[in-house]
């Protein structure tokens, strides 16, 4: 008896996610995916229909199984600003053994697929939802006078942090950036 399909799909999505994260969308071929998953082309195309279909499924998996649960965890275990600070720092501390994972795969997907009409809208929707989550979290911060402006600012900081992580993955450097972002938040809200 074979393994349960949903488990197999989750495993394939995780393996493909690692590949897309490391090589990027354009440089990842279905042959690469076949090699890392051990699946034949027929199985891949049966489940995903195309490279684009697989990439959509991978980014959805990343968003729903990694990004959102991480934010949800901090949202329910820390005060609002501390929640976002932890969310920021775990974006580059989360996978220390795999340096290429030191930035947000969703943002990478948005940048790489901005001219793909069939991919970009879904990824843009995830970005919009993440930004709304920032606003909802900071609305709970009773010390902030204008939580929506603070959320916009921190979301822009989160995006810039992901690019800093690509350029200089030093934990000390990135920790200093996060500290600076949150210090400036206090000044911005006055």
Q: Has residue 14 been placed in a domain?
A: no
189 confidence band (pLDDT: 50, 70, 90):
low
Question: Which tokens in the block code for residue 179?
Answer: 């500290």
What is the residue range of 137's domain?
52-188
| Residue 154 placed within a domain | yes
Is residue 16 one of the residues assigned to a domain? no
For the chain, the domain total comes to 1
Is residue 87 included in any domain, yes or no? yes
Q: Considering the entire predicted model, what is its pTM?
A: 0.86
Domain annotation covers residue 124: yes
Residue 122 included in any domain: yes
* CA–CA gap between residue 114 and residue 165 (Å, rounded): 21
Q: Could you read off the pLDDT of 151-163 as tens digits, one per residue?
A: 999 999 999 998 8
Neighbours of 119 (CB within 10 A): 20
Angle between helical axes of 105-112 and 120-139 (0-180°, round to 10):
140
- Residue 32 domain-assigned (yes or no): no
pLDDT tens track for 33-62 = 999 998 888 888 888 989 999 999 999 999
In the numeric block, which tokens belong to residue 163? 């690019």
6 belongs to a structural domain: no
């Amino acid at each position: 008896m074979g393994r349960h399909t949903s488990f197999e799909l989750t495993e394939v999505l995780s393996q493909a996610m690692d590949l897309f994260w490391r090589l990027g969308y354009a440089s990842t071929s279905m042959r690469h995916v076949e090699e890392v998953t051990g699946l034949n082309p027929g199985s891949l195309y049966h489940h995903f229909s195309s490279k684009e279909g697989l990439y959509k499924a991978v980014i959805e998996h990343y968003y729903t199984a990694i990004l959102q649960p991480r934010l949800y965890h901090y949202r329910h275990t820390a005060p609002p600003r501390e929640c976002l600070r932890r969310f920021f720092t775990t974006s580059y501390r989360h996978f220390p053994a795999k340096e290429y994972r030191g930035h947000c795969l969703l943002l990478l997907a948005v940048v790489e697929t901005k001219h793909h009409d069939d991919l970009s809208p879904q990824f843009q929707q995830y970005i919009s939802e993440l930004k709304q989550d920032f606003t909802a979290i900071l609305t709970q911060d009773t010390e902030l006078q204008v939580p929506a402006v603070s959320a916009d600012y921190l979301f822009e900081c989160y995006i810039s942090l992901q690019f800093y992580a690509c350029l200089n993955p030093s934990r000390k450097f990135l920790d200093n950036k996060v500290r600076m972002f949150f210090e400036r938040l206090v000044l911005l809200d006055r």
